[in-house]
Amino acid sequence: MVTKAATVYDVADRAGVSIATVSRVLRTPDAVRPVTRDRVMDAVSALGYVPSGSARGLAERRTGVLGLYFPGFDAAEEAPALDVLAAGASTVRPFTVLDDEDGAPEEHPTNLFLDEVLRGAELEAWKQGFVLMIGVGRDDPQRATVRDMAGRVDGLVVLASSVPDEVLARLARRIPVVVLAGPPRGDRYDHVTVNNAEAMAELTRLVLAQTGGRPPAYLTGPADSPDGGQRWQGFSAAVVQAGIPLDEVPVLQGDFTRASGRRAAGELLARGLPAALMSANDQMALGALDAFRSAGVRVPEDLLVTGFDGIDAAALSDPRLTTVRQPMIDLGRASVQVLARRLEQPDADPMFVRLPLTIALRESSHRNG
């Protein structure tokens, strides 16, 4: 049963103070005498009072909410059907026993990089005293989701290229915007990113040293991914620098999912294995490892495999996956920090924050001897 919520007037009446004093205690408790502060907080506790965010927002012109908008690489239609209301309160079989000895990988359409970024953003928003609103723009060509979010938040973090330039420019006239994972393109937004191109170029040079200069195959990400584009730039630059024509490099199209990595590995098995397969992210590389293992292909003896991102699963695979570790949680945290700074200093110059990467060399790219 829902009961009537206590109001600021109820708190003030119980504590014997004005509503202005209640507001000061809740916003700046150190500015109020301890005896008064204690009376107010006792009343708040006794009544179960929760301050109204909308009322406070009207007074301060702030909502206390920050937005984080992702494009939604994982298509909603790929998720299995679920209808708990139709199922009712109980089921005939409370659990299922599955013979999983064949080790067939389950399909989980998700993006683990974004999951980690989200964790960091949630943590930092909490530390900064904000609530975090998440928006995912699946099948949203008009960007209605992000437009709606912009009217409900104090500021917005968006993944680079997830919002058209003209839409982003309109949003930025209303609220501060931080662009995550993309470099500045002549704009005035704050940016938080990493140097994908340099890290991928160095990893490519290390792989070429292992293959004796034989060209690796490359598995790309989505065509509209800024990170994927920068990683291709780094890879292709290192290959050309090594004297290898790009038309000799097998290039396969992926979409950052594990399933697309398995499909790409199947293509290579059909046409002949290259010296190495370099993937634009870890999930695709792990999918390729799945397919190679099932086909009896040995990694790294028969070919090398590398990824990019540094998700936990990359360190647990067999063999362990060589990758470029991104500071994923720190990317989320830094984005919120930069956004909070922009709210406090709206006229400051745009910030460009670039976090460091780490190349983790593991068994999937190193042969013995």
Measure CA 269 to chain center: 32
**Does 15 or 186 have the greater pLDDT score?**
15
Q: What is the mean pLDDT of residues 314-339?
A: 95
Q: What confidence tens digit (pLDDT) does each residue in 36-47 have? A: 999 998 988 888
Task: Write down the pLDDT at residue 98.
Answer: 63
Confidence of residue 286 (pLDDT cuts 50, 70, 90): very high
Angle at 243 between CA 237 and CA 248, to 5 degrees: 85
Q: 96 pLDDT exceeds 70?
A: no
Indicate the burial class of 188 (C-beta count within 10 angstroms; 0-12, 13-18, 19 or more).
exposed
Q: What is the mean pLDDT of residues 343-356?
A: 92
Task: Write down the pLDDT at residue 76.
Answer: 44
Name, in order, each residue with C-beta under 8 angstroms of 215's C-beta and a sequence gap of 6 or more: 239, 244, 248, 249, 250, 274, 275
Q: What is the mean pLDDT of residues 254-258?
A: 93
Q: 145 pLDDT exceeds 80?
A: no
Name, in order, each residue with C-beta under 8 angstroms of 40's C-beta and a sequence gap of 6 or more: 11, 15, 17, 21, 22, 25, 26, 32
Name, in order, each residue with C-beta under 8 angstroms of 38's C-beta and a sequence gap of 6 or more: none
Query: What are the angstrom distances between the C-alpha of 309 and each of 108, 154, 331?
Result: 18, 30, 12
Q: What is the mean pLDDT of residues 70-79?
A: 56
Three-class secondary structure of residue 191 per DSSP: strand
**Does 170 or 234 have the greater pLDDT score?**
234
Task: Write down the pLDDT at residue 2.
Answer: 44
Structure token pair of residue 177: 């915007």
In this structure, the strands spanning 177-180 and 323-325 are unpaired
Task: Write down the pLDDT at residue 196.
Answer: 95
Highest mean pLDDT among 49-63, 79-93, 215-229, 280-294: 280-294
244 closest CA partner among 276, 292, 267: 276
Task: Write down the pLDDT at residue 22.
Answer: 83
Domains belonging to the chain, first-starting first, are 8-51 (1.10.260.40), 66-75+104-194+328-356 (3.40.50.2300), 196-326+359-365 (3.40.50.2300)
Three-class secondary structure of residue 173 per DSSP: coil
The whole-angstrom separation of Cα 332 and Cα 327 is 9
Q: What is the mean pLDDT of residues 136-152?
A: 73
Query: Which residue(s) pair with 322 in the sheet?
Result: 306
Task: Write down the pLDDT at residue 362.
Answer: 96
Measure CA 80 to chain center: 22
Helix H, strand E, coil C: the string for 293-335 is HHCCCCCCCCCEEECCECCHHHHCCCCCCEEEECCHHHHHHHH
Task: Write down the pLDDT at residue 1.
Answer: 40
Q: Choose the weakest-confidence range: 106-110, 133-137, 165-169, 185-189.
A: 106-110
In this structure, the strands spanning 276-279 and 155-159 are unpaired
Task: Write down the pLDDT at residue 15.
Answer: 92
Q: 106 pLDDT exceeds 90?
A: no
Task: Give the type of residue at 103.
Answer: G
Confidence of residue 68 (pLDDT cuts 50, 70, 90): very high
Q: CB of 324 within 8 A of CB of 360?
A: yes
CB atoms under 10 Å from CB of 348, counted, come to 10
CB atoms under 10 Å from CB of 301, counted, come to 10
Task: Write down the pLDDT at residue 330.
Answer: 96
Task: Write down the pLDDT at residue 142.
Answer: 60
Structure token pair of residue 212: 């004796």
**Does 31 or 274 have the greater pLDDT score?**
274
Task: Write down the pLDDT at residue 77.
Answer: 44
The whole-angstrom separation of Cα 163 and Cα 173 is 15
129 closest CA partner among 58, 218, 28: 28
**Does 330 or 73 have the greater pLDDT score?**
330
> What percentage of the chain exceeds 90 in pLDDT?
55
Confidence of residue 81 (pLDDT cuts 50, 70, 90): low
Task: Write down the pLDDT at residue 230.
Answer: 94
Task: Write down the pLDDT at residue 35.
Answer: 92
Measure CA 220 to chain center: 18
